[in-house]
Each structure stands twice: as structure tokens, then as C-alpha cells.
């Protein structure tokens, strides 16, 4: 099935959704003629603040919301002209768990596959239970599953009919750090097996860890759409900050030509764009002033900066993102 798929798993053009105004209010545009292409086999992130239109877009893909304008092609099938094939090509994991806790995971997956008309001999229930680490609880009532296990079972349910596209809407919401990282590994495994994954999340470190490409929705419009690396490269705000062992009134004369600035009485900062010397040379140039370095902190742009740039026009304070020094230069 995957071999016959087109190059792009998802093609959206001019997609709009407008809700009628109530009590004299103007109509509201949840989606304002957006264009989006998700390549086959990619792990694509869809980011945006609350109310940006992410859920509306997912609901349109799942057939739960009717679009106002535009076209949607899922694995080459037009959502208007071939609705059944288009819907059958996608599996959606919603934010809220919707499993019947009185059934076992195995029963739920078998039932879900049956709803899509998958013959018993073609079902992949055991495979899904295995790769999502649910085999030990496969025949226990689902009410006995932990929160992380229930989220994994939701992923398994969405994959029961073997869709080539999996939409994960906040898949790790309410899951602890250990279980979140385990789910990350399983998401990567699904992608390596050939599944195209569209991920929405408010955990920006999750998107940075998993996604190869990203689109940012804001007020119903796509304000950024590129590879993760290209988006990060747009922000040139890396810096190095050192703390010395005594108060300074000004930047030492030998440091001024290199671009150092006095950020606080004992703290000197150097933008990465002005770092013309090697690390050893920079440290030596500080120490020749009789100063001892007691702390080194670096700041490097991340997805939080990108997100803030495109949704609020600003980036967080560099002091809030500390990393080990070798990641900068």
C-alpha cells in the first residue's frame, strides 16, 4: 500500500473554515486559506497557540468538520471526491482518551479493525501491541492501564486499520517524563516503518526532538513552514556569558575590540556572531586582566525562540536557556 502512495502524503490548498457569527457578531475565520504539503514518510510538526486553528484542521482531515473552501488530498485521494478512501488513509489520536475501559487492549484493537472492514487474517493487533509495549497488558481490562499505557493504546487504535498517515494531537499530554520519552521512541519507530506522522504539541522540546519539518499556525494562517534546521538558522542570537570573581566597572580594554559587553557587574557577554577567537584565546584574553572565570553559560536558539518570533514577534530572554559551552562554537 505504501509503495503505491504519491510523493506527498498530504496536500492542502486554499483551505478555509469560517464559523457564522452569533447575535450580530461577524463571521470568524478559524482557517484562512492555508496551503500545506506534508511529504510522504516525514515526521511533520504543526505548532500554534490555542485558537490558532490546529484542531479545526485536524477535524477537517478526520471528516468531523466541513471545510468552507479549498481542497484536501490525503494520499492522493480528494476529500470531496473520494471521501471514504481519504478517511481510510488517516488515523487520528485525539487529545482526550476515548477508550472503553471495560474492554482489553486486544479487544479494542480487534473491534477498531473490524469497524474499518479489515479481515481477521489481515489484522495487525499483535504487532501493534508489541511495538507499543502493551503485550504484557493485552488481555487485562483497560481500566488497569497507566496513563502512559492508555496514550499508547490510543496510538495503537489509530493504527489498527494500517493507515499510511497518523495524526497525533498532543500525544503526551498528562504523561510523565519517562513515559513521554518512551512514546517518543515508539513514534520514531512508526515513522521508520514508513508511516507519515503529523504531530501537534504544546511541548516545544517535543517538536524539536521529533520533527524534521514544521509549520506554525497563528490566527488561522500559516506564518512559518520550513525544515526545523532552516527555521532555527533564521535566528542569530547565540551568545556566550562568563561570570568573573570580582566586580567590573567596564569591559576591560583588551576585550572591547572583540565585542564583549558588560551585562552585570561580574558578568560579560559575547554574541556568537562576534566570536572571532578560539575558546582558548577568549579565556586567556579574560584571564590576562587578573580575572578568574567562575561560570560559563551559553545560549542557543531553539524552537521556543522561533515560536515566539512568528506568533508574538519576540524571543525569550537568553538567560532562560542555558546549555553546555561546546554546543555554541
What's the CATH number where 320 sits? 3.30.70
- Residues 268, 199, single domain; the answer is no
162 plus 77 within the same structural domain: yes
Distant-in-sequence, close-in-space partners of 127: CB < 8 Å, separation ≥ 6: none
**Are 227 and 112 in a shared domain?**
yes
pLDDT (0 to 100) of residue 281: 77
C-alpha dihedral, 26 to 31 to 32 to 35, nearest 10°: -170
Residues 117 and 263 in one domain: no
pLDDT at site 24: 57
Last residue within a domain, chosen from 232, 266, 301? 232
Give backbone dihedrals phi and psi of 105, rounded to 5 degrees, phi first: -55, -40
Tens-digit pLDDT string for the chain (329 aa): 444 567 899 999 999 999 886 765 667 889 999 999 999 999 999 999 988 999 999 999 998 999 999 999 999 999 999 999 999 999 999 888 888 888 999 999 999 999 999 999 999 999 999 988 899 999 999 999 988 899 899 999 999 999 999 999 988 887 788 888 888 998 999 999 899 999 999 888 899 999 999 999 999 999 999 999 888 877 766 778 889 888 888 988 888 888 888 888 888 888 765 555 667 777 788 888 888 888 888 777 788 888 888 888 544 444 444 443 333 32
Cα–Cα distance between 161 and 158 in angstroms, integer?
Answer: 7
In contact, 239 and 299? CB cutoff 8 Å: yes
> Same structural domain for residues 297 and 155?
no
* pLDDT score of 313: 59
Instruction: Identify the CA nearest to 149 among candidates 123, 112, 175, 185.
Output: 175
Q: Residue 77's pLDDT is what? A: 94
- What is the number of structural domains in the chain? 2
228 shares a domain with 91: yes
Residue 217 shares a structural domain with residue 107: yes
The domain boundary, picked from 213, 232, 251, lies at 232
| pLDDT at residue 40 in the model | 94
Which domain-ending residue is among 232, 265, 296? Answer: 232
Backbone angles phi, psi at 19, to 5 degrees: -100, 135
Same domain assignment for residues 34 and 105: yes
Q: Are residues 75 and 213 in the same domain?
A: yes
Give the residue numbers spanning the domain of 93.
2-232
pLDDT digits (tens, 9 = 90+) for 122-143: 999 999 999 888 999 999 999 9
Query: Are both 225 and 268 inside the same structural domain?
Result: no
At residue 296, the pLDDT reads 84
Q: What is the pLDDT of residue 314?
A: 46
Are 176 and 260 part of one and the same domain? no
| CATH code at position 91 | 3.40.50.300
Angle between helices 177-192 and 147-158 (to 10 degrees): 20
pTM: 0.77
Q: Are residues 204 and 219 in the same domain?
A: yes
Q: Are 85 and 196 in contact (CB under 8 A)?
A: no
- pLDDT at res. 96: 84
Judged by DSSP in three states, 92 sits in strand
pLDDT of the residue at 223: 94
What is 287-323 written as a DSSP string?
A: HTTTPPEEEEEEE---HHHHHHHHHTS----GGG--B
Angle between helices 105-115 and 147-158 (to 10 degrees): 20
Amino acid at each position: 500500500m505504501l509503495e503505491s502512495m504519491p510523493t506527498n502524503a498530504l496536500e492542502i490548498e486554499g483551505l478555509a473554515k469560517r464559523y457564522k457569527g452569533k447575535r450580530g457578531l461577524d463571521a470568524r475565520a478559524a482557517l484562512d486559506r492555508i496551503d500545506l504539503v506534508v511529504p510522504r514518510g516525514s515526521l511533520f510538526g504543526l505548532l500554534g497557540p490555542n485558537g490558532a486553528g490546529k484542531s479545526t484542521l485536524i477535524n477537517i482531515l478526520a471528516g468531523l468538520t466541513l471545510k468552507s473552501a479549498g481542497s484536501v488530498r490525503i494520499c492522493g485521494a480528494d476529500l470531496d471526491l473520494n471521501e471514504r478512501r481519504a478517511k481510510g488513509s488517516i488515523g487520528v489520536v485525539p487529545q482526550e482518551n476515548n477508550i472503553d475501559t471495560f474492554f482489553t487492549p486486544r479487544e479494542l484493537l480487534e473491534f477498531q479493525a473490524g469497524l474499518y472492514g479489515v479481515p481477521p487474517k489481515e489484522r495487525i493487533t499483535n504487532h501493534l501491541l508489541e511495538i507499543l509495549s502493551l503485550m504484557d497488558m493485552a488481555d487485562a481490562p483497560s481500566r488497569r492501564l497507566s496513563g502512559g499505557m492508555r496514550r499508547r493504546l490510543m496510538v495503537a487504535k489509530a493504527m489498527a486499520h494500517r493507515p499510511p498517515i497518523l495524526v497525533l494531537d498532543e500525544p503526551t499530554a498528562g504523561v510523565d517524563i519517562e513515559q513521554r520519552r518512551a512514546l517518543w521512541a515508539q513514534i520514531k519507530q512508526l515513522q521508520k516503518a514508513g508511516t507519515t506522522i503529523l504531530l501537534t504539541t504544546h511541548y516545544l522540546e517535543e517538536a524539536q526532538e521529533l520533527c524534521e519539518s514544521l509549520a506554525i499556525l497563528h490566527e488561522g494562517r500559516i506564518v512559518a513552514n520550513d525544515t526545523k534546521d532552516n527555521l532555527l538558522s533564521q535566528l542569530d542570537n547565540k551568545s556566550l556569558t562568563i561570570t568573573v570573581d570580582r566586580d567590573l566597572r567596564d569591559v576591560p580594554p583588551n576585550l572591547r575590540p572583540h565585542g564583549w559587553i558588560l551585562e552585570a557587574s561580574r558578568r560579560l557577554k559575547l554574541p556568537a556572531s562576534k566570536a572571532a577567537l578560539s575558546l582558548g584565546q577568549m579565556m586567556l584574553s579574560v584571564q590576562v586582566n587578573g580575572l578568574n572565570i567562575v561560570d560559563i553559560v551559553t545560549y542557543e536558539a531553539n524552537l521556543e525562540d522561533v515560536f515566539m518570533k512568528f506568533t508574538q514577534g519576540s524571543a525569550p530572554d537568553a538567560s532562560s536557556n542555558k546549555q553546555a559551552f561546546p554546543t555554541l562554537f
